Structure 1
């Protein structure tokens, strides 16, 4: 089950997203230079710089990720991993899995304390136990080799300049450094970067230079991604993690050297007239987003509209069903059979959707009888929320939707080479089994923890790219993404209006409503329908682009410091 609400959701599926013919050339809908939307304007400018130099959407997305390593260290970067979803002008979609991996010595009791019980989350996070082998640079190198146009070293130039010449602490980074002090200041290198001698956070507007990160990025630009994974620097990084890991078989240089980013089959299917494509296992993003949407397909959501308690009620019910399946079945498909085809089968989801009534709540929402599923137990793990999403489009009509993460704010708190290392392994289940029944997302050596990240692309009925979207916010990511898609597709809202709509999160028997929004006022109506409702403050972070009247329009979540730019 999900233990907490985290601040900051007919063609057969699983086809390889074959080219869809269209009468209008898809390039006609491309921006003249390109578009980038990200969580920080300096990262947006990094991506746009690459597009102006003739780079591809892939090049721009990589440059954006590298810049975020510098200016958004609490959320993502080269010390973590990500998922990359790319669609080309012909409508072909491909995905790359850059999720972190557990060291070979990790076992199901990895997070157990001396008393034989799971460690408290904070204790597990603030140690080498939580660090997975980072995947973002292998992902970037693979994506660049397949889809890049500019030289690899050029993609690093904006991030190197930011780290070398300095960047300003923004209000959001200051807040993260203050609220996440236990992690952000856990390592002496982190303290030296962002905290004064008395332990206070450096003021907003302070210029920070990170020469260690500049040197790391310069080395990687010159020597390539192998310099991160092979050789003395990689061995030293593994040794630093191992020294902080209270286990006999911690991370080794061989674990780092053996990491590979992987091509994965995209998860694609139709919702009404649209084709939705996203990231499959080890992400639960695409299956959960698609389930939420498809279970609601029989309802006239457009007629209901975003002010209707009925819409929010059925949206909550669909989440409950989708998350029940997610909890039981989603994991790393290299280690366990994940029944993606069954979880996304239109007939199965129609039957699940038939359980939703407009005038009452379901007493319970349990996992369904998914075709092809193993008998599994629900796990119990916290979720990533130190995450960033960004979107890039180029003049050739290609688009990239990329979500990157280090899991919690400032990850594990360990700093190496000027960047924070992730705590991604806490995304595994705390326990390997429940009452003797195996948990799909249990810890295993070399395994990738389940993720909620949901980078998504949408195509219209003519096969033209229509939307690129994704979000940050842990377990809420599929809900944010589904909400934003319903807003843009069913309600026909612009992307900025869609992202600004409030968020409802209903992964179980409690419905959480975003405080200080019109949605919170619907709490009495939802309670009358039988929901247990809590209103909570929450910070969300999404980025998107949508084609509106033939032109591309970007969007960034108004709750964040994000922005977008197009030329």
Structure 2
């Protein structure tokens, strides 16, 4: 959307604000970015139709309008897509604290015009953990919420060091300048959005943390009202320190000491993070996995993410299942396609549960992860799909080798936010970022500032299997181990034309394990069914984690449910709150979409 159109709908406050940052020597003037706070446009929590956005030279898509606008202003000031992503992430830490932030981790896919790079900022387990981290003395697993809302669940955050490394390689603007929007909003305040207020109202564990209770709730434990102008002086001070000193200020010194102290002194279950764990954290630049599909090359994140491999298994299995009826016609998804999609999901999630974990700890089948998406293997898996649902699939074996692990039991996965950006030079990124469950470990820390507010710590270690073995003592690949990165479902995805190598699309979503289905279905709708990015995102969701077939509540006709049940599906209707963002190249620039189920928007020119 051109900025004139955006401004007409959401006018800017005319304020002479920050171009200034505090430093050790005083004020540093005129960094080049003249940041202005936009008046916050917030959609109601729920489903609200969005039109899609047409731009010619660049686009920024993020989960909150203030975050999108920060990225927009950075690009207008001469920043790269990577610069914009950093500014977006810092603002999301402030305005969407329930989903992501500097207390968590992220996977970043970056296209520099020539090559695709995968930056791993996933959290790591502390050196002092054991595989029995989430077991009681009797050997039973803790409940998910007891584990999540505790110090046990906090992994060493990775997003800041990862973004700083990527910035050194792909940034245009100075690191400090990228914090200006977040510092300004933290000092001046931002209106509490309907989504944040609604999640606070439905949250109980966060109120048990004294810092969070006093910051987000009143004395009667009522959450701050929609539109309340919330300032965060602690986070403003932390951002200033990070702007001046770089990410080392987070991993050493007072900010790190405060994090470690809060985790180790948790009143229910103390965690094990140490200052050595913090200072030792290193991001990893991994080789992306790029998989051919139709006329496209789909590039995604390798393990410890399960996203790309599982997503491409679903797409590859569907390719082996030619449809007798159109998959999408008259604005309806066919029952035949839904049956095959959810059956392919069962097969793919069965493999995911057995094989995928941190590659520094677990070998790939046959020593190459691509074995899981080889056409011959997927053809074998596709042959298992019949006219009736299999209910629950068993993992396959993509080669002639012995499998030494057992499948991980089902376990909840939550959280996350997604950012897609293409800049004026055609550099593109997809970054999925998370603190895991809503509000993470429910620990708000102030960085040792002594001021109100701060940032939330992740509960990422609950992405590990709570049980390290099965009842026979056989190991689970995704068990807790020191220094290990927990398996993820995050699926930041970049798509290219197979023949020309030209950029086609950037997309991804939050949603726990359902990220994989959301991203897969959107890819299919955009690139196979010919829908534009917004219409593809807005389609109703259907999925399976290798159990019941889940349909998005109130989005499918009754006959769809009945026909699936006639095919043996156990159908459950529920809210499936994705947060998809997608930018797609077209003949005159880009057409982009943001999920109507959340508050995100797209900006660009």
1:533, CA displacement in angstroms?
1.0
2:363 aligns with one of 337, 340, 347: 337
Higher mean Cα deviation, 34-43 or 227-236? 227-236
Asked if residue 210 in structure 1 is aligned to residue 246 in structure 2, the reply is no
Aligned residue for 2:261?
A: 239
Alignment correspondent of 2:180: 157
Report deviation, 1:518: 2.2
Deviation, 1:248, is: 8.5
Q: Determine the C-alpha separation between the residues in 2 that align with 1:169 and 1:266.
A: 37
TM-score w.r.t. length of structure 2: 0.86
Give yes or no for the alignment of 1:410 onto 2:439: yes
Residue correspondences, number: 537
Q: Which residue of 2 aligns with 1:113?
A: 136
How far did 1:354 drift? 2.5
Equivalent residues in 2 for 1:467-546 (5 A)? 467-518=505-556, 521-546=559-584
CA distance in 1, matches of 2:105, 2:413: 11
Deviations 1:331-370 (A, max 9, x none): 111111133121122221122122223x322354111012
Does 1:360 pair with 2:388?
yes
Q: Determine if contact 2:430/2:506 at 8 Å carries over to the other structure.
A: yes
Alpha-carbon distance change, 289 to 353 in structure 1, aligned in 2, over 3 angstroms:
same
* Among 497, 501, 509, the residue aligned to 1:460: 497
Work out the CA distance in 2 between the residues paired with 1:327 and 1:529. Answer: 25
CA contact (8 A) 1:381 1:426 kept: no
Indicate yes or no: 2:443 matched with 1:421: no
Q: 2:109 aligns with which of 75, 81, 85?
A: 85
1:285 and 2:299 correspond: no
How far 1:517 moved relative to its partner?
0.3
Tell me the secondary structure at the aligned position of residue 326 of structure 2.
Answer: helix
The separation in 2 between residues aligned to 1:245 and 1:520, in whole angstroms, is: 49
Does the Cα contact within 8 Å between 2:509 and 2:515 map onto a contact in 1? yes
Equivalent residue runs for 1:287-306 within 5 Å: 287-300=309-322, 303-305=326-328, 306=332
Q: 1:356 to 1:34 in 2, by over 3 A?
A: same
Aligned partners of 1:124 and 1:447: how far apart in 2?
18
Which of these two proteins has the greater Rg computed from alpha carbons? 2
Once the 2 structures are TM-superposed, how far is the Cα of residue 265 of structure 1 from its aligned partner?
Answer: 1.4
2:349 aligns to what?
323
Across the aligned residues of Structure 1 and Structure 2, the Cα RMSD in angstroms comes to 1.9
* Aligned equivalent of 1:446: 483
Q: 1:348 aligns with which of 371, 377, 399?
A: 377
Q: Distance in 2 between matches of 1:181 and 1:51?
A: 39
Question: Which deviates further from its counterpart, 432-441 or 30-39?
Answer: 30-39
Provide Cα deviations, 1:455-499, integer angstroms capped at 9, x if missing partner.
001112322111111011101000000010011011110111011
Aligned counterparts of 1:43 and 1:195: Cα–Cα separation in 2 = 23
1:427, distance to aligned residue in structure 2 (A): 0.6
Q: What SS class does the counterpart of residue 238 from structure 1 fall into?
A: helix
Q: Deviations over 1:104-145 (max 9, x none)?
A: 011111001232211111111111001001111011111101
Question: 1:247, CA displacement in angstroms?
Answer: 7.1
Residues 331/373 of structure 1: CA separation in 2 closer, same or farther (3 Å cut): farther
CA contact (8 A) 1:39 1:390 kept: yes
Q: Are the counterparts in 2 of residues 320 and 508 from structure 1 also a CA contact under 8 Å?
A: yes
In structure 2, do the counterparts of structure 1 residues 32 and 312 end up closer, same or farther at CA, with 3 Å as the change threshold? Answer: closer
Give, in whole Å, the separation in 2 of the partners of 1:189 and 1:249.
18
Secondary structure of the structure 1 residue equivalent to 2:442: coil
Alpha-carbon offset, residue 192 of structure 1: 2.4
Per the TM alignment, residue 181 of structure 1 is displaced from its structure 2 partner at its CA by 3.2
* Pairwise CA distance, 1:551: 1.9
Gap change, CA 1:445 and 1:527, over 3 Å in 2: same
TM (norm. structure 1) is: 0.92
Structure 2: gaps (5+ residues): 1-44, 47-53, 447-453
Deviations 1:346-400 (A, max 9, x none): 221122122223x322354111012356321112353432210010110111101
2:566 & 2:413 partners in 1: Cα distance? 33
CA contact (8 A) 2:58 2:590 kept: no
